[in-house]
Amino acid sequence: MVCARPGTRAPAACDGSVSRSSHRVAMVSTNRVYHPRGHHLLAVGLADAGFDVVDVGFTAKGRTAPAALGVAVSEVSPPRRRVMRIALGPLWLLRAYRLRPSLVQVNSLELLPWAVLARALFGIPTLYDSREDYAGYALLAGWIPRRLRPVVSRIVGRVEPWLARRVDAVTTADAGTAERFRGGRSVTTVHNFPRRPLHPPDPREIAYDVVYHGTVSRYHVEQLVAVAETLARRGRTLRWCLAVLDCGTAERRRLERRLAESGLRGSFTLRYDVPHETIPSLLASCRLGLVPLPDEPKFRRNIPMKLFELLAAGKPAVVSDLPPIRELVGEEDCCALVPAGDTNAYADAIAALVDDDTRAEQMGERGRALIAERLNAETELRPYIDLCRHLIR
C-alpha cells in the first residue's frame, strides 16, 4: 500500500492504527487512483472543505500524487481479469474500513453489493456514487458478449437502485442517472464541472486543429476516424491529437490499426495514459474539441466531463446534439451541436470553425464565461459537501 499526502495538511494514517477521525472519508473504487471524478473532483473537493480523505483504488503505474491536492492515496494491485473485481470486493472494502473512517464512499458498481453487507455489519454511514448510467453502459461494453448485453443491462437497471436503497445516500453525475434512484435514499446530483478558470486562456501557439481526450471505445475510434477520412477526401488534412486515458494494450492496437488502415496515421498525434492534471495545458494547444457521442441510452442520460473541460479551456466543441447536452449548453452558443452519428455534419462543423478563427474564439469565450459563472465545481460541490457532513453527524 502507498499512502501519499502532499501539501501542507498533516499526513493521513493509512494503517488503521489511530482513532477514527470525525471527518475521515474513505473513498474506494475498482478504478485507478487519480480518477478524474472520484479523485480530482470529489476527493479534492472534500479535502478543500477540511475533510480527511483517503482514495483507495488500483495502482497507477509510474504516477505520484499531484502536488498540493491534500488527498491520501492507498493503492491496491488490480486483478488480471475484470470479472475478479466483484469477487475481490471485500478486500477493497477491508482496506477502506481499516482506515477507521466516519464515512465510506463507494465509487464502483462492482463494490455496491459488498458495501450494502458491510453497512449492515459495521454501521458506518455509506455513500454510493453512481458516476454513469451503468445500465446504458452495459449495452456498449466491449467486454460483455453482444448477445448478453441487453440481459445485463436489464439486470443492472433493476439491481443497482435496489441495492442503493440499502445505503445511506446516492450521488450521480447527471440528472438523467439520478432518475434511476428516485423513490429511494437521498439522491444528490454532482455534475462533472471543472473548477473555475483562474487565468485568461493560454496564448501559446496552436499545435493541433482538433483534439479528442478521454477513453477510446470502439464506437469513438470508428467515428473519429470516419470524420478525419471525410475531411481528408475534401482536401482538409488537419492536425489531430488523441489524448487517451487508461488505454489498455488491446485498445491501443485497435486504434493504431484503424489509423493505419485509414492512411491518416501521420495526421494523428497519440498520447497514451495522459494524467488528468495535464489536460488543461494540452487543450490550450488545440483549436477545438470533438465529442462524437452515439445516440445510445447511456448518452441520453450522461454528459462526458471532456465537454466541460473544453469549455473551461476556452475552446469550442463540436458535440452530438443529445438531450442532456442540449439542456445545459444548447442556448449558450459555445458548442456546435450536430446530429449524433452524422459524419458529414461533424466534418462540416469542424471545417467551419477551422476556417473562422473569430467565430471559434467567440464561442470559446462564451464557454469559459459559462464555466466561470454557473457550471463550475465550486458551486456544484456545495450540496455534496453538506451531504457528507450530514452523514457523518
Question: Is residue 317 located within the same domain as residue 388?
Answer: no
Question: Is residue 254 located within the same domain as residue 365?
Answer: yes
Q: Are 221 and 254 in contact (CB under 8 A)?
A: yes
Percent of the chain with pLDDT over 70: 89
Q: Are 176 and 302 in contact (CB under 8 A)?
A: yes
What average pLDDT does range 160-185 have in this prediction?
91
**299 in any annotated domain:** yes
Specify the amino acid at residue 393. R
**C-alpha 81 chain-centroid distance:** 22
The per-residue pLDDT for 92 is 83
3-class secondary structure per residue, 134-195 = HHHHHCCCCCCCHHHHHHHHHHHHHHHHHHHCCCCEEEECCHHHHHHHCCCCEEEECCCCCC
Q: What is the pLDDT of residues 70-122, one digit of tens each?
A: 789 888 877 767 667 777 888 888 889 999 999 999 999 999 999 999 999 99
Alpha carbon distances (Å) from 393 to 43, 103, 387? 19, 10, 10
Q: What is the pLDDT of residues 254-301, one digit of tens each?
A: 889 999 999 999 999 999 888 888 899 899 999 999 999 999 999 999
The parent domain of residue 66 ranges over: 24-193+376-392
Question: Is residue 216 located within the same domain as residue 357?
Answer: yes
Q: What is the pLDDT of residues 295-346, one digit of tens each?
A: 999 999 999 999 999 999 999 999 999 999 999 998 899 999 999 999 999 9
CATH of the domain at 270: 3.40.50.2000
Q: What is the pLDDT of residues 194-247, one digit of tens each?
A: 998 766 556 568 899 999 998 888 888 999 999 999 999 999 989 999 998 877
Question: Is residue 63 located within the same domain as residue 188?
Answer: yes
Question: Is residue 290 located within the same domain as residue 173?
Answer: no
Question: Is residue 239 located within the same domain as residue 280?
Answer: yes
Question: Is residue 76 located within the same domain as residue 135?
Answer: yes
Q: Are 173 and 189 in contact (CB under 8 A)?
A: yes
Q: How many domains does the chain have?
A: 2
Question: Is residue 277 located within the same domain as residue 174?
Answer: no
Question: Is residue 61 located within the same domain as residue 168?
Answer: yes
For residue 369, pLDDT beyond 60: yes
Helix then strand count (H, E) for the chain reads: 15, 13
Question: Is residue 269 located within the same domain as residue 331?
Answer: yes
What average pLDDT does range 362-384 have in this prediction?
95
